[in-house]
Structure 1
Amino acid sequence: MTTQFPLFNVTDVVFDEILSQLELNEILHLSLCSPKTRKIVRCHMKKSIRYPLYLDTKEFIWMKFGFIGEKGKHVIMMSVWKSEISNERKFEIVSSEEEKVKISKYEDHYALLSSDDNEWMYGCVLVRDHIIDLFRKDIETLYCNNPYSMAFLKYKAPIRMTYSGGEDCNGYWKLVSYEKEHSAKTGGLQLRHWLPEGYDFTLTREYEYVRMEKAHFGRSDDVLKLAEKSKEVVIDKSGLFSKGLNTILNYWLEHRIDGLKFLSTQVRSYKEFLVFEGMEHRITDTTEVVNYKSYTGELYRLSPGKRLRRDDGVIASFFYDPTTLILNFGVVTDNNAEK
């Protein structure tokens, strides 16, 4: 026997309490009951949610919308999947905007199924706009295997972070492909796939954070190209050597990459006398423990290590770990320092 509850007859205070006890995916499913329900739920969502929304387009013909919860857990709220629709699958009729659509339970969430490309894209737009409007929050994080997914979010607010590629992605894309006119702007860009020798690291847009996980052939010129447009640059694997690092530090001393606030890069061969050549008088030792908090919230160790003073009084701290071959270089301020 099904028990009915007069949800719309409760007071606003009670309705607010009910919403506070629901997970975000449950709130979304409630809003799909009818246009009236959607309007009421949205009215009670007086403030935008504190969890960031994400979009995952890495799997072909399967777009997943969700939120990043406690401890970075990714929870799918709804997906749009292009598939042959089986007569054996159970469907529910729900409302999005003024449209009636069919959804079906798929593992741990509901999926909107479509049978052709046009229907699939229409469903993606429908779900995207419904979620953004309901929660009064734009999608902040994009996971993709190619830059063309960025066009899907072009007319929305800039993306906070874009992650492209991964272990399941064998190809790579030129940086210019992420900066086309039809692509959404992103504050941070992280390329997880392997980059070949001769890859062009030139950026045309401004970034808060750029990370290249597998730039094995990257040299000082490549790092400088990234540093010209991004405040923070992280290169997990590179082809950088001591003389190249010396060039980068000199560029910073000469105010040629003033926008750079943080650099973390692999240095394959670190010889201190080559790194410090020509700037020995500007370098001092430091024992104060300082960590740099990056745009993505990660902490990078900057000391005990060295300090480099520029002629305008700006001081950068840096630390080299011979075990990992990683050098961290950062201009520490009250906003990014963690002691």
Structure 2
Amino acid sequence: MKVLVTGAAGFIGSYTSLRLLDDGHEVVGLDNLNDYYDPQLKRDRLARLEGRDGFNFVKMDLEDRVGIAKLFADEQFDGVINLAAQAGVRYSLENPHSYIDSNVVGFVNILEGCRHNQVKHLVYASSSSVYGLNTQMPFSVEHSVDHPVSLYAATKKSNELMAHTYSHLFNLPTTGLRFFTVYGPWGRPDMALFLFTKAIIDGKPINVFNYGKMQRDFTYIDDIVEGVVRSLYTTPEANSSWTPEHASPAQSSAPYRVYNIGNNQPVELGYFIEQIEQSLGMTAEKNMMPIQPGDVPATYADIDALIEDVGYKPATPIEQGISQFVAWYRDYYKIKAKQ
């Protein structure tokens, strides 16, 4: 296949592009290389892809309507994996317009490109943040997601609604993937694992929100990528028995599906920090703080639908994943282990 991967210089996008190349596909990677976090890290991720047979990079904003339309018309993609987005829950309180530009305007440009060029399957990143005020655990794709608590979450929910519209109107197969706290080597510097590791090494205190009682369904990057690629290979079909009176919100009479991808093993933040300390051989100085606006106290993925339809269950233990991240961090930043 020829596959467009948006956000190809990002954390998940770079890994996904590598995996598709390994599987023998042609990949066009799109990214705008913005400075939301260190662009050098994005360039270094991209360097792992450039030079590979079958990979081409395009620097472009998703909201570039004319540019995106031309790209789709010129390339005629078989599949699209949309991972580009303005990320971050807390940043959406400070800079809301960037979320609308990238996550809403950009997403409709992707949908239009798929619609007008007979793309066979669109897979796109949603987020566990869509569960918002829902407290029923584990989070199931059968639950209501009508009460987001951040603009970031609202844009991801809107992507699911927009995708369903295009699946219904234009018979475009779409699959939305609600990621649960992705971590691992080459990860984002604004995420807890990266922030904590850097601060501990630098001898600086870390902010521990919700007094360390926060729970997250941390999901290792290799598990996420496996789920993404298997989802691409599993094109959804319309459910002819679906009715709105007894409806699953995760499927439809259109070729539309939504899945959770999580480790199915929520971990308390306190234990997460202990594992970083153990991997580093150092102790963190902790600032215990209340929960932040836009945050939810816990996430926990029900992945039954993913197992049933896609045949995959994430399984990397948190201890192994953190150890591999710390080893990468030391190597990337040339930091020697404490003796």
Q: Is TM (by shorter chain) over 0.5?
A: no
What is the TM-score of this pair, normalised by structure 2?
A: 0.27
- Relative contact order, higher structure (CA 8 A, sep 6+): 2
In our comparison, the structure showing a higher alpha carbon Rg is 1
What is the TM-score of this pair, normalised by structure 1?
A: 0.27
**Would you tell me which structure has more strand in proportion to its own residues?**
1
**Would you tell me which structure has more helix in proportion to its own residues?**
2
